[in-house]
Structure 1
């Protein structure tokens, strides 16, 4: 009997010990498992951070990488020069203006104009923050023939970055080539400071000034007819569209289509100028946030700071038609410039001017669809203009009796008066 009791007590003690072991095992599990989970998480976090930092460093080491919308390859960090195998890219490693100019000038050899061929008698056209624009005469050829040009001179003193940017603009014109409706490059002087860019001279000046002169009781001046008909509006508009199509073929857009950025010749040949925004897209991949464009010419997507494109130029082209048919009136005359976005968001557009036919107004309205995809393509828009021109009035002259006060115009249009004080808006 006593033996059985000892056996039962031993079994009970063993069972109690087993339960204690089980409880102790569960306590260890409660502690160890979370520790392992936390440790695993920290290891994974460290690996992710290491991969992220490594990726960031590799992106920074890639010179052409930018987080922007798909655009033509950036040309701001290399320069194209003529080599034996064609064009080659030269990295900008120069540390001084002089060494940079020595390196880059050979690639512009075909554009170089000897300085002694540029007249010293320079007629100042405009003085801006980047430099001064002059009208000058180039005397070249055999026999020597004088030719009027517009000279854009880089301001001095100029640092390396300013010189590189200025030369980049010369190369941009070289890249574009010539088109009958774009102001083209005549040459350059880059072998030493001051650096010059020589552009085509369109003597009669900008379209906006021409439209204002058409308001006066003047028939002709300097051989230029100062009367404008509906048919001639279509003629000028078609030429602007041809220039925009040329830019689009090079995956570019203008970004600031307006009467002030169009030069006019005596035969009403239109030359689109003011290509600074197109250059920024070409060189940097995007429009600089520091670049200010008058709000009343901008498409809604531009006002909302969305990526710009050729459909924005189509919107602005509708504004250009309004400018021409009103002989240079500011758009949205009843709307303050800072309120234009809210005005458009309410679904409003400009009403038909009294000088505008319903056909032309319908073309304007097609340009002013809020949705970019609803606006016509450049080719379609040009076809509409050509069809409208065939039945347009070529006899009745557009008439607006009020003369323009530049200060009042600038306030209503949202422009600076200084930007209206000269006839050229060159790059």
Structure 2
């Protein structure tokens, strides 16, 4: 596929979004004692600029769902204001502003492949950097260009340096610029899926697979397996049989190798309450079940209030590492349901589900992005995960959706629209 590589102002803004998403995801700006992701601080203005220059439109359905979600979370917050001493108006406002981009979709498909191609080129660089970062440890030290920066400009709470096994001097690769090895793995898996559907360059897919292995994280492998399921279901047996035959030997060598033993051994983490797998994938649902059992019906409906999840503690589980109970990771939908109750949680969750799955340009990619957002990452206000999903999965939609939104957007923009003549 031949692409036009002319760098216009519009393409420069899209390029800047990708650069911020990948290379600056670990950086933040300290505001009122809280480190706000730099990706959010600069990404949001870029999106608004694209809207003001008439490149992004307001999707009418998403706009109405956003208004409904806004009203519901405000109603839940008003109730919780009277029962919670830890109510955070900052958390509420941040939630509403953070998800504002979800209502915007691109005006046309002209720059869709430019965006994907740019992401792929950046991921080739990150993959090579990640391979080098891992291998260089055997002759030198683990290289991390950000480790000398002050904590006031770095996002906190991420396991950036993870040993290969407990006590090992060798660390998993995170591509130097990414938050964790799991993010390195997930970003590469996303690049593999995009390459498979849109560009089909086998050499790059092979490079990405090699890079994925050096991340030693199962999250990227999970995404690839999930992406493969819809494809397999659409294939006939005579098409699947050769694939199975060709896969037998590599699978055997994988299972009998030290690498395979290491990765398979991680399955035991799902039964260990102190392991990251249990905390991220099992404990959140047990914690919410406990929440339903011990809370009053009004709290279940309206929630405990914005920003109160860290203060919550049940009989067995908590979402705060400083509380001496079993730990649970704050998955996005669990956080919504506890802080904003069924009223706000369902309304806001409906908006998110609609953005992920309605009128998307690629259903497989959308499904994988959703699993990444809701399960494998899960933080409701995690900028890197949301912007990855928005830029690659939501911003460009099925072409027929664009035509239906033009009249609505024109009415919104009539006062302040900047006419960019081409």
Q: What is the TM-score normalised by the length of structure 2?
A: 0.23
Larger radius of gyration: 1
Q: What is the TM-score normalised by the length of structure 1?
A: 0.23
Which structure is higher in RCO with an 8 Å CA cutoff and minimum separation 6? 2
More strand by percentage: 1
More helix by percentage: 2
